[in-house]
Each structure stands twice: as structure tokens, then as C-alpha cells.
Chains A and B, each alone.
Chain A
Amino acid sequence: MMAIVIAGVIWATGWWINTKLANGPRSDTRAISLLIPVIFGVTIIAMWQVLVTMLGVSPIILPAPSAIAQRFVASIPMLWADFEQTILKGAMTGYVIGMIAAFAVALLADRSPFLTKGILPVGAFMAALPIVGTAPIFVKWLGSDWQSKAAVVGVMVFFPILVNTVAGLKDTSAMQRDLMRTYGAGYWPTLLKLRLPAALPFIFNGLKIATTLALIGAIVAEFFGSPTVGMGFRISTSVGQLALDMVWAEIVVAALAGSAFYGAMALFEKRVTFWHPSQR
């Protein structure tokens, strides 16, 4: 009973502060808009901690945040090895392969309006499919090491990047293309100086969607077979051992890696498409 009262008090305090801040005079400043979600997150974690420890919730159902933090700090070398195997080798290699393949096919398709018309619906359709399901097949073909994960990731990121690139390359007006023609520009100068820059916001949209897909593909593919290292391997074996604090520690790593990957892409986009209205 006591635990619930304390949790309620924590919630009320956090919410009260946030209400004051959100409706205060300076609520739109950068610092305050960053502070409010942080306070919200801290409130939730504090409530979680209080409820789990005071109610004596079994750690095989929900470990306390402090236990997860301890486990995280204690197993940093192991988490780093898993990160290296899954993210750096599996996800990143696959992401780069899928991206290059998607760009190549998009440029090829771009030469023919017929192909463009065909690839857009088929690619959009494929992007909605549960491609993670190909994981057992790739594991069988390429072995259980990171190569098979890279292949799954490559196929998963291929379609969203392809569709966005093809759509982006179509996104110039007849007037703009006519202007290039009056300059006597051929296919390649037009592509490099007009159509590719114009397509960049679309391409980055696809690249950003693909960051999350890459991590999902690399982690889930490890459920189908992996060497004894990797985030997906660690999650599935730790779940089997009911070591949920380890699972949560891996999820923290996945969350950090996912946000960092996405953030890096968004930052890169900002630098490259500074001229676009959405960035100004």
C-alpha cells in the first residue's frame, strides 16, 4: 500500500513540475522542451524502482532499474562484443550493401519510365512484407556468423531506400528540367546538378526508415542461429536463463544504438540538405 502511495506522490510531483514548465512563459525555449521529457522519463523510472523494490516484484518478471544499471556496468566488455558483432558487423555491412544496391537499381530504373512505373508499386509492396522471415533461409545459406545477418539487413533496407530514391528522382518540375536543357546539359549533368540534389530529402527519408530496420533485422536474424556472441543471441539465451536484467541491458544498448544511428543520419541530412525548406 505504502509503495503505491509513494509512487503516486512521485508521479504527482513529476507531473506538477511538468505542468508548470509546459504552461509557463518560457515553455518554448530549447532548454525547457528538452527538460520536460527528461523529467517525465525520470519520473517513470523512479516509480518503476519504487514499485519493484517495495512490492518485492520478482526479478524474473521485472528487474528494478538499479539492477539493470548494475548489470549494464558490470558487463560492459560483453555488451561491447555483442554490439560489435551485431551492429558494427551485421547491421552496418548490410545497411551499406542494401543502400548501394538500392541506389544502383534506382539509377538503372530511372533511365526507363516503364521500369520506374513498375518498380514503384512492387517496391512499396515488398517494403510492407515481413522480410525478417527470410532470416532462417539466409542463415542456412551463409552460415550463422554475421554474413547471414548482413544479407537479411541488406534485403530489408533495400526496398524502402529504393522506393524513396526512385520517387525522389521523379520530383523535379518540367520547368526545372527545361531550364537544364536550355543550358545544354545532358543526362549526367542534369542528374548530378538538379535531380539528385532534389531527390536528397526523399533519399534521406528512406535512409532514416532503414536505420531502425537494419537493427531489427540484425537482432532478429540471430534468433535463428548465431555464434555465441551478438545482441540477439544474448537476448534469446538470457531469456532462457530468466536473466532479465541482462535482456534489459541489451535493450538499453539497442535503444542507444538505434537513436545514435538515426541521429547521425538526421544530422548528416541537415548538413547536406540545408537548402530545403524543412531544414530552415
Chain B
Amino acid sequence: MTFKGIFPALTVVGFILAVWTLAVIPMNAHLTADQAQRDDMIITPEAPRERQEISGLGLALKNPAIIPLTYVQQRPRLPSPHQVAYEMYDTIFTKAPTSRKSLVYHAWVTLSATLLGFVIGTTLGVLLAVGIVYNRTMDKSVMPWAITSQTIPILALAPMVIVMLGAIGIQGLLPKSIISAYLSFFPVVVGMVKGLRSPDGMQLDLLRTYSASANQGFWKLRLPASMPYLFTSLKIGISAALVGAIVGELPTGARAGFGARMLVGDQYGQPMVTWAALFAAAITAAMLVAILSLMERRTLARMGMGAAA
């Protein structure tokens, strides 16, 4: 993004934050009113049952005194941005990264599974793509399935994969990585097949006039030509891999990782924990995509394809 493009984007982000901040008042109004009444504040209407019948916004307008209190609830329905920011600061910077209370620790648990799975999935995906491009039988048999598989909610398999592997004694990092690998595999196959086929007839003919071998054709023409496609698929693949690792943590009652934090926050009524895990996962996804974008720009610029990015 250019410097000039940042201002419109920041405006949109600012707008979203403003809506969020305002939404805190009606979302938490009932909760806050109940609590304020217990603390001997006078709330209209007085009976809790009557309060249930008016909207959060109406309640807040009738009792302006509770508005500031909606922002400092211990267990809000909707935490305010500053509460989430504080929770993230607290769990990222003030706790030792090895402690279970640290988000960095949980991030690493999820991230290591994601990266391992991403590397496995990408490697297998590229190999299969090469096979598909050079073997007609493979192309005709496997390619339709690779395309169809993208319309299937593969993520639904996640709980079963975990249990299946658990039954044969594989636990910990690997089951999550296999889900991540599986999710990043198909986008890479489809993208790489497209990329390896992108050189046109003229370019292939030119290599033939140089009497280049099939091997040279692959390393000097097809592989370089596929790079823009590869990076596009990698960016899709890595965010899919992260989602896969997070969902892989849900069904097993895992004790560490973003998915576990979301579940814990949900079950023990600690909304800030859920929200902080959610934002940390989002930031992790954004950083992974950003790193790949940077690599893409560097690689393509080196190869003289900078304009393609």
C-alpha cells in the first residue's frame, strides 16, 4: 500500500472502531444497570423484569449515569476496544513468554502447528502440480478432484482427523499440522498447475529451438513463470492453514493455542480472553500474509516481474 492509500484505509478502520465503541453502551446496558442497582444506585425502571422489556439503548438513555460504567464491566457482553487492547498488552508484554498466561506462548503453539502444516502442504502441493503438468493421466484423473475439493467444507473433517490420529497414538503438534497441511494443499495445487502452464506456445517453442531438455524447460521457463501464481496461492494457503490449526484445537479440549484460549474464555465467562485471542489470531494471520507479500515483491522484483505484483 502506498502512503497515500493509508488515509482512506485508516478512515474506514476509525469508522469501525467508532461503531464498536458506541455499540458497547446498548450491549452492556442491562448488565450494568443490574449491577448498579445492587450497588445502591437508583435505576429507572426499578424492577429488573421491566428493564428486560426495553432496549439497551433506551435503558442507557433513561439512566445516563450508567453509560460510563458500561465501559468498565468485568464480564461485558461486548468489551470496549480499550479493554481488549489492555488485555492484549497485559498478556503479551507483561507476562513471560513461556508462561501459560502469556498470549505469546499460545501464539507459538498455534503458529508452530500452522507453519509445519503449511510447509508440508505446500511441498506436497507443488510436487503434485508438477506431476499433473507432466503426466496426462494424472491431470485427467486428479485435477477435477482437486478443483471439486475446493467447494467442500474440508474443515468439518478437523475433529475427526484429531481423534483418528489420537486413536493410533499421534498427539500434540502433528494432528493440527495435518489439518493445516490439508487446507493449504489444494489452493497450492490449483494455483501451481495454472502457473506451470502459463508459458505460452511461443515461449515453449523458443526453448525447443534451443534444443533444451525437458528438465531445462522446467527449471528455466515453467518454474520461474509460475512464481506469481505460487505466491497468490501461498497467501490463501497460509491463512487457511492458520484457521485449520485453530479449529484443530477446538474439539480436543487442547490446553494451549489460540483455539484453546477462545474456548476457555467462552466457557469460564472471560470475554476479554476470547476477544484478545481473536485479535491476536487476526494479527498473526495479517503478519503471515504480510511476510509472504514482502517475499513476493522481493522475488518478483529480482526476476524483473515487479509490475506483476
Contacts and interface: CB of A to CB of B under 8 A. Distances in A.
A72 to B, nearest CB: 15
Interface stretch (A20-28, A179-187, A199-207): A20-28
Interface string A243-278: 010011011001100110111000000000000000
Contacts of A261: 151
B77 interface: yes
B8 A118 contact: yes
B202 interface: no
B201 interface: no
A173 interface: no
Contact of B285 (A61, A121, A129): A129
B160 A247 contact: yes
Given A36-B141, A137-B275, A242-B163, A23 B136 contact: yes
Q: How large is the interface on A (under 10, 10 to 19, 20 to 34, 35 or more residues)?
A: 35 or more
Given A18-B137, A122-B9, A235 B159 contact: yes
A224 interface: yes
Nearest to B159: A239
Contacts, number: 171
B30 to A, nearest CB: 12
Nearest to B247: A220
Contact of A119 (B12, B143, B167, B168): B12
A80 interface: no
Contacts of A223: 159, 247, 250-251
Contact of A22 (B140, B157, B235): B140
A219 interface: yes
A188 interface: no
Nearest to B110: A130
A136 B262 contact: yes
A22 B137 contact: yes
Given A212-B151, A212-B153, A223-B159, A130 B140 contact: no
Contact of A36 (B140, B263, B278): B140
A151 B254 CA distance: 26
A259 B159 contact: no
Interface string A200-239: 0000000000011001100110011000000110011001
A24 to B, nearest CB: 10
A37 B157 contact: no
B12 A60 contact: no
A3 interface: no
A19 interface: yes
B1 A121 contact: yes
Nearest to B16: A122
A279 interface: no
A239 B7 CA distance: 49
Interface in B133-166: 136-137, 139-145, 148, 150-153, 155-157, 159-160, 162-164
B5 interface: yes
Contacts of B163: 239, 242, 244
B282 interface: yes
B185 interface: no
25 contacts: A22-B137, A36-B141, A40-B142, A115-B8, A115-B11, A116-B8, A118-B10, A121-B9, A128-B286, A128-B289, A129-B282, A130-B243, A130-B278, A133-B262, A136-B263, A136-B265, A136-B266, A140-B271, A212-B152, A215-B153, A219-B155, A223-B159, A223-B251, A239-B160, A244-B163
Given A128-B239, A250-B156, A262-B151, 11 more contacts: A37-B141, A37-B144, A114-B11, A118-B9, A129-B239, A129-B285, A132-B246, A132-B247, A136-B274, A216-B153, A219-B153
Interface of B: 1, 5, 7-13, 16, 77, 136-137, 139-145, 148, 150-153, 155-157, 159-160, 162-164, 167-168, 235, 239, 242-243, 246-247, 250-251, 258-259, 262-263, 265-266, 271, 274-275, 277-278, 281-282, 285-286, 289
Interface of A: 15, 18-19, 21-23, 27, 33, 36-37, 39-41, 58, 60-62, 114-119, 121-122, 125, 128-130, 132-134, 136-137, 139-141, 211-212, 215-216, 219-220, 223-224, 231-232, 235-236, 239, 242, 244, 247-248, 250-251, 254-255, 258-259, 261-263
Nearest 8 pairs of A and B residues by beta carbon: A118-B8, A40-B141, A262-B151, A136-B266, A118-B12, A117-B8, A215-B153, A37-B144
